[in-house]
Amino acid sequence: MVPLHWYLLLSSAVFVVGVAGFLTRRNIIIMFMSIELMLNAVNISLVSFSRYLSDMRGQVLVFFVIAVAAAEAAIGLAIIIALFRNKATAHVDEANEMKG
Amino acid sequence: MMAEGIFIYLAAAIVILSVLVITRSNPVHSMITMLVLFFHIAALYVTLNAEFLAAIQVIVYAGAILVLFLFVVLLLNLKEEMVARRYIGPWPLGVLAALGLLVVIVLSLKSFIPGPSGVFTTEVVRAETNTKVLGQILFTEYLYPFEVVSMILLVAIIGAIVLAKKRLRN
Amino acid sequence: MPSAFLPEEYLPIVIFMMIVIAFGLGTLAAGIIFRPKRPYREKLVPYESGNPPVGEPRYRFSVKFYIIAMLFVIFDVEAVFLYPWAIVFDKIGLFALVEMLLFIAVLVVGYVYAWKKEAFRWD
């Protein structure tokens, strides 16, 4: 039987990779994908908790997280398209003014 | 032993693929890598006795969200993107912050104490099927969050149309 | 500690996936090994029914595609909520019907909004 700690370590590793990607990349779409990575990392830990504590609520929570992630992707990518429209760039360090 | 072997393969693949996702210069390559990553996470859910979530992972993440990402990537000028700088100027600072976070999380895992166990053991869930147990909890105990999700989806529809539609008018 | 468990009924899928990957990589590798390699310039350009290719293969998509894709994602999530609902419907009954109708009613508002804003119109 795989210990629960292995799953938690995997989850934290993926989460940290997501944080690193979000903090270092210039391309806003890759930054957005890093956020999806972080959400997936949290989902892994929730599912493993659900399995090891014999409680289905963790899986219900993952269901909600996935639904919210879909809504977030739709809105976030719409904002990215608005950024393209105003600045014609996908790089966050070129969009550094408060007023377009 | 078998379970450990499968877990080690899946974990190694997930970590390596997620590092590849954030380091590719071509966003389309990142996207394809992420697709493979989502399939591996779905396989991990299957080994965790969460078959329904594995299916949802493939349907929603791999089937819908990634397609949406791909559409937005195709709005980009990819040729320009391939030669542009990949990382922000002070990128070592970002990596350092992430590694610091990893240290904090791993140290905090040491003091983790699992709470009380619930009633849905693997045998109970397998007898009832995963989807049925999940549905029973979702539509009774989590009724209110379920209805709130519909509001979130409504906001997403309206927000995305308002934000993206402006372009079409002029 | 829960008992060890491996979903062995998924083994055929795993074997199937392995065969698929092995077949794909195998045919590509066999092609690389066995085919003659005599490239020249005209052979390497993309085939466009005999005409010389014009412009970029990767052109930018219209934003209209994006709106359709976005609405697809949202309604995909809605459909996903219907699966467990359909499974447990006979156990919960009328209560489940009412809550799902409420859920769909809220999303129909969004659908009507998208319709009125002409998000489904192509031109």
Model confidence at A99: pLDDT above 80: no
Q: Do B25 and B82 form a contact (C-beta atoms < 8 A)?
A: yes
| Domain segments of chain B as ranges | 1-83, 120-170
pLDDT computed for residue B167 by the predictor:
53
Kindly list the residues from chain C whose CB atom is less than 8 angstroms away from the CB atom of residue A51: 2
Where do the H-state alpha helices sit in chain B? Answer: 2-23, 27-47, 51-56, 66-73, 78-83, 91-110, 122-128, 130-140, 143-169
Kindly list the residues from chain A whose CB atom is less than 8 angstroms away from the CB atom of residue C73: 70, 73-74
CATH architecture of C8-116: Up-down Bundle (1.20)
* Candidates C1, C8, C10, C63, partner chain B, best to mutate (most B CBs within 10 A): C63
CATH architecture of B1-83: Up-down Bundle (1.20)
DSSP letter at B58 equals I
Displacement of CA A59 from its chain's centroid (Å): 18
Q: Do B107 and C42 form a contact (C-beta atoms < 8 A)?
A: no
User: Exposed, middle or buried by CB within 10 Å (0-12, 13-18, 19+), for C41?
Assistant: exposed
pLDDT computed for residue A87 by the predictor:
74
Q: Which residue of C has its CA nearest to B3?
A: C6
Kindly list the residues from chain C whose CB atom is less than 8 angstroms away from the CB atom of residue B150: 78, 102-104, 106-107
Q: Residue A65 — very low, low, confident or very high, per pLDDT cuts 50/70/90? A: very high
Summarised one tens digit per residue, pLDDT across range C31-75 is: 999 988 888 887 787 777 777 777 766 666 677 778 888 888 999
What is the mean predicted confidence (pLDDT) over A39-65?
92
Q: Residue C1 — very low, low, confident or very high, per pLDDT cuts 50/70/90? A: low
Kindly list the residues from chain C whose CB atom is less than 8 angstroms away from the CB atom of residue A70: 73-74, 76-77
Q: Do B137 and B120 form a contact (C-beta atoms < 8 A)?
A: no
ipTM, 2 dp: 0.90
- Residue-by-residue pLDDT tens, chain B, 170 positions: 788 888 999 999 999 999 999 998 888 899 999 999 999 999 999 988 888 999 999 999 988 899 888 888 877 767 777 777 778 878 888 899 999 999 999 999 888 888 888 888 877 888 888 888 888 888 888 999 999 999 999 999 999 888 877 654 44
CB proximity list for B46: less than 8 A, separation 6 or greater: B54, C7, C10
| Other CB atoms within 10 A of residue C29 CB | 10
| Domain segments of chain C as ranges | 8-116
Summarised one tens digit per residue, pLDDT across range A9-34 is: 999 999 999 999 999 988 888 999 99
Where do the H-state alpha helices sit in C35-62? Answer: 41-44
The verdict on B64 touching C (C-beta cutoff 8 Å) is yes
Quote the Cα angle for C85-C91-C95, to 5°.
Answer: 70
Cβ distance of C85 and B135 shorter than 8 Å: yes
Q: What is the pTM of this model?
A: 0.88
The verdict on C64 touching B (C-beta cutoff 8 Å) is yes
Percent helix, strand and coil across chain C, each to the nearest 5: 70, 0, 30
Proportion of chain A above pLDDT 70, given as a percent: 96
- Give B67→chain A minimum CA distance, Å: 11
Name the residue with higher pLDDT: C9 or C33: C33
pLDDT computed for residue A66 by the predictor:
93
Tell me which H or E stretch contains B59: none
Summarised one tens digit per residue, pLDDT across range A71-81 is: 999 999 888 88
Q: Which amino acid is at C119?
A: A
Name the residue with higher pLDDT: C118 or C114: C114
- Give C27→chain A minimum CA distance, Å: 33
Kindly list the residues from chain C whose CB atom is less than 8 angstroms away from the CB atom of residue A74: 70, 73-74
* Candidates B153, B155, B166, B167, partner chain C, best to mutate (most C CBs within 10 A): B153
Kindly list the residues from chain A whose CB atom is less than 8 angstroms away from the CB atom of residue C4: 1
Question: A63-67, A93-97, B124-128, C87-91 — which is least confidently predicted?
Answer: A93-97
* Domains by residue range for chain A, with CATH: 4-94 (1.10.287.3510)
Which chains pack against C, by 3+ Cβ pairs within 8 A? A, B
